[in-house]
Structure 1
């Protein structure tokens, strides 16, 4: 769950989220009570995706997903098996996935397909000649179901390699409704109001913000939301492509803003040390356990937070609510993410799986299960199990080609997507010592310069 997209002006759509009469995680309408996606063997589904007969063929798929994500993806793969007769094996991968795939390839056991969560990693897979171009059938599904930008994000030098199956809005603050109510706090719309709300909640006896700092990718998302809102999309593009340096004054401004939160340990559950020992799933569950006295009242991250909330007794829409990431500049940022399916073997089975993952039928299965947003514009929004996810998905699709991809995920993985290195490590160090803004900039620039030159 590490990728981000900028959706210009879509923030106004998301400001409606907090005002919605949100439902729980259960189904609230649509056709999700009956499974119409089924069918066995090859041929066309009710919505027209053509799949070949693959009886006896074995296909392996590698992804970093675990827990509910792996389980729900398994449902998508199971339906593919029913329709084609193939046998699909899920291969648990580790971050950084490029290193994992390199080991598998060196050992002569590459998976047929890999779900790659970074644009930079897709580009590396192509550069290493691991990735195979998407076939005609999958390209036809992409053309029918995806905006041009999503096709371009999976392409390298004009050749299509990736199918973006899963997306995520990563500009959301989820909060414990009872803790807010007891503190007399309301949903903030600006960064200044957000800090004020945090102080109000702190005064009520509850630590306001839960941060999963043990996972460096969450900290890149904090930075990117602040930077995008404060510096604007043009600067964002320049920094993402390293056309301006990390020592640029705009980076100093964003880090200074972020330090207004990180520099106040009393506002963060466990302070900096506690946050750096807290993994992302725990940062969510500790916000929604303990009734009106949770360890943290708010947690920042994407729509996929709903999957972790489901591990608690909290109900989305009543106990757990959400508001857009507060505006630092003129507009609230809207950031999303995605995972691309890439074939590492040019086989009939691998290409058929890419075709399946590009279809609305495949997206519908996970959409019903929750914790998922699809960039597939042919997916009926009624498939989503609640208004929160439905609204976010509709805004994503409505944005069309007006999107930007995550800064850290555009970077080479050694800088933007590796635990203990590059941006992840430097921002963890910054969380621990937010006064060292100049040093943080220098380390970010030094690491970025090395990988962009190579």
Structure 2
């Protein structure tokens, strides 16, 4: 997945110096440690607070916000290349092994969730460290709307469809959909596929040449997704507004304008939710429900990982060690919108729920599929296919879903070939 939330946080092309975190180098005698990130706005400020919290360093630190162009960090080497990359696409680590230094054994051997090893360990060698985890199965909603309609958060997929129908009958649009950010659409589909067929999800995630168009379970997941998006009155503002809404716009629809009841939004949306909420007490969350009775709920995970482009420096390695310390991220945890691998304390009520789910035994946990699909899961692949699918079915009734599914599969075949 080329980006996970960068567009909604705003662009920043400027080079940001972490002046408080490094010793001033007024004579320019010591080379800065340059960190390439995809964060901007609130996330960039939160990361700056992490750097400031590291105390006095013996070298200057510069943060380079690359946004959706983070992949350029692995371009042709120059004197100004980054020393550290906070990579929002861990699925790309294996593709860039020749460009990366391995992590020191003392860092590589630290405990982490199993799913990270599949992405960060190549040939028995660790090339990246988890820094920021993203829980992509969270749904934020306004409890006052549910109470007004006499509804409870859904326990199963069928309950969710019924909740949406009941809200629509009350004249309340159930969903704000940020279709302007294609990754939101892939998050929706990934949760449905993982919840309905974990084996099919897993097979696509690890395939050398994945072909989702040939998977009956993938087609079935599209039909399920179509059953929600096609329901008349389901989408706030209809397809037209959904297509131009980016992530913050959808959150504003729910908590600011109050024109929708809920929005699929990862943990990193927390500061945005609270900044937009007209009523701070009217905020709640549920996680994506199981698709079938008696099955586990899906938990789709993304994240940002630390990697070291070759050749590394001692200063860069020192900074990686400091950032990898568990307490280093405390300022961001306090600011909100941050989950750390394996950490379950120090969060808000909503994020505590998500953090607990990430470590709970028996959880149906898998990494972001669109990331693992590479270009097939990106803007000219699955993003575009799902955008076209939404246009064909959104608010238009279930009769159009079968034809839209076939059209989506046809589009995927062209991308796969």
Counterpart-to-counterpart distance in 1, 2:193 and 2:21: 49
Match of 1:84, SS state, is coil
Q: Where do 1:335-346 residues align within 5 Å?
A: 335-345=300-310, 346=312
Q: 1:175 to 1:144 in 2, by over 3 A?
A: same
* Aligned counterpart in structure 1 of residue 290 of structure 2, from 321, 324, 327: 327
Q: 1:406 to 1:188 in 2, by over 3 A?
A: same
Deviation at 1:158, TM superposition (A): 2.1
Counterpart-to-counterpart distance in 2, 1:93 and 1:142: 26
* Aligned counterpart in structure 1 of residue 135 of structure 2, from 166, 169, 172: 169
Counterpart-to-counterpart distance in 2, 1:429 and 1:177: 32
Counterpart-to-counterpart distance in 1, 2:117 and 2:149: 46
Task: Identify the residue that residue 346 of structure 2 maps to in structure 1.
Answer: 383
Match of 1:297, SS state, is strand
Task: Identify the residue that residue 388 of structure 2 maps to in structure 1.
Answer: 429
Which shifted more, 271-280 or 85-94? 85-94
Q: Deviations over 1:33-62 (max 9, x none)?
A: xxxxxx9999xxxxxxxxxxxx94411111
Contact 2:127 2:307 in 1 (8 A): yes
Task: Identify the residue that residue 39 of structure 2 maps to in structure 1.
Answer: 65
Cα RMSD for the two superposed structures: 2.6
Deviation at 1:261, TM superposition (A): 1.6
Q: Where do 1:261-340 residues align within 5 Å?
A: 261-290=228-257, 294-314=258-278, 318-329=281-292, 330-340=295-305
Match of 2:263, SS state, is strand
Contact 2:178 2:250 in 1 (8 A): yes
Counterpart-to-counterpart distance in 1, 2:166 and 2:365: 35
Contact 1:430 1:440 in 2 (8 A): yes
Task: Identify the residue that residue 10 of structure 1 maps to in structure 2.
Answer: none
Task: Identify the residue that residue 354 of structure 2 maps to in structure 1.
Answer: 392
Task: Identify the residue that residue 443 of structure 1 maps to in structure 2.
Answer: 411
Q: 1:284 to 1:237 in 2, by over 3 A?
A: same
Counterpart-to-counterpart distance in 2, 1:402 and 1:207: 30
1:409 and 2:371 are equivalent in the alignment: yes
1:89 and 2:57 are equivalent in the alignment: no
Task: Identify the residue that residue 73 of structure 2 maps to in structure 1.
Answer: 101
Contact 1:62 1:93 in 2 (8 A): yes
1:131 and 2:100 are equivalent in the alignment: yes
Q: 1:262 to 1:372 in 2, by over 3 A?
A: same
Counterpart-to-counterpart distance in 1, 2:149 and 2:64: 46
Q: Deviations over 1:339-362 (max 9, x none)?
A: 111111411122222222222021
Counterpart-to-counterpart distance in 1, 2:309 and 2:122: 15
Counterpart-to-counterpart distance in 2, 1:88 and 1:152: 31
* Aligned counterpart in structure 1 of residue 83 of structure 2, from 112, 135, 159: 112
> What residue ranges of structure 2 are gaps of 5+ in the alignment?
5-19, 24-28, 394-400
> What residue ranges of structure 1 are gaps of 5+ in the alignment?
4-38, 43-54
Contact 2:21 2:51 in 1 (8 A): no
Q: 1:402 to 1:215 in 2, by over 3 A?
A: closer
Match of 1:168, SS state, is strand
Q: 1:115 to 1:121 in 2, by over 3 A?
A: same
Higher relative contact order (CA 8 A, sep 6+): 1
Pairs aligned (count) = 382
Q: 1:107 to 1:427 in 2, by over 3 A?
A: farther
Q: 1:267 to 1:148 in 2, by over 3 A?
A: closer
Q: Could you state the TM-score of these two structures normalised by the residue count of structure 2?
A: 0.84
